[in-house]
């Protein structure tokens, strides 16, 4: 069975979204300012080589995720650091939503069933891993449903003082097993976990 890999940038105090929306805390967003070192950029590209499907939230696709990375793939086609952008375009994409009736993006399917049913059906299909990209609310819903098989947290060297987490079970918490941790020169630490 394929794995669902949730990839998120995170602050050192465990937030995936800062309470202050104007706080510039990530070393890399969608823009041209990408302050990751070369080793971390290579690792990021390696992650995309291990997936053939990308699970997206409706919000992130409507905010222009696919349009943006399509432009980047064309403008940086010769730059190996941006190889992942072409992978985003080439991969099969699935958007979980009942608010869109049809997809206007190539290789992108709208899945309107329940989150658990749609994700479990994807996992049962043959292929490589499924990479999940979305905001805090979408990620939290996947976590609450127990659908995430691997967490990849790109921990930025900033504490934001408060914000949103993907973990909300205050009664039992979320026990995780460390799969690996790597620190990079730019200050980002990538921590990989699996649910226990």
Which residue ranges make up each domain of the chain?
A: 4-195
pLDDT at residue 160, as a whole number: 98
Q: What residues of the chain score a pLDDT lower than 70? A: none
* Helix, strand, coil content of the chain in percent (nearest 5): 30, 30, 40
pLDDT at residue 4, as a whole number: 98
With 0-12 CB in 10 A as exposed, 13-18 as middle and 19+ as buried, what is 142? buried
pLDDT in tens, 73-118: 999 999 999 999 999 999 999 999 999 988 888 999 999 999 999 9
Helices (H) and strands (E) in the chain, counts: 6, 10
pLDDT at residue 149, as a whole number: 98
Name which of 192, 170, 172 is nearest 182 in CA terms: 192
Number of Cβ within 10 Å of residue 106's Cβ equals 10
- Work out the angle between the directed axes of helices 136-144 and 115-124 (0-180°, nearest 10): 80
Domain at 4-195, CATH class: alpha beta
pLDDT at residue 139, as a whole number: 97
């Amino acid at each position: 069975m394929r794995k669902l890999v949730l990839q998120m940038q995170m602050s050192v105090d465990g937030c995936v979204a800062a309470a202050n929306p104007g706080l510039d805390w990530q070393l890399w967003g969608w823009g041209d300012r990408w302050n990751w070192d070369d080793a971390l950029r290579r690792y990021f590209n390696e992650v995309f080589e291990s997936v053939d499907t990308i699970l997206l939230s409706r919000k992130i696709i409507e905010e222009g995720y696919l349009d943006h990375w399509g432009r980047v793939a064309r403008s940086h086609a010769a730059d190996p650091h941006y190889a992942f952008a072409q992978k985003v375009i080439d991969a099969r994409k699935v958007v979980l939503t009942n608010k869109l009736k049809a997809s206007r993006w190539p290789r992108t399917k709208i899945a309107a069933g329940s989150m658990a049913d749609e994700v479990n059906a994807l996992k049962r299909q043959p292929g490589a891993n499924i990479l999940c990209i979305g905001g805090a609310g979408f990620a939290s819903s996947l976590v609450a449903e127990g659908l995430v098989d691997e967490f990849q947290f790109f921990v930025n060297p900033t504490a934001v003082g408060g914000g949103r987490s993907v973990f909300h079970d205050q009664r039992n918490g979320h026990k995780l097993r460390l799969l690996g941790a790597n620190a990079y020169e730019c200050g980002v630490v990538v921590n990989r976990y699996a649910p226990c």
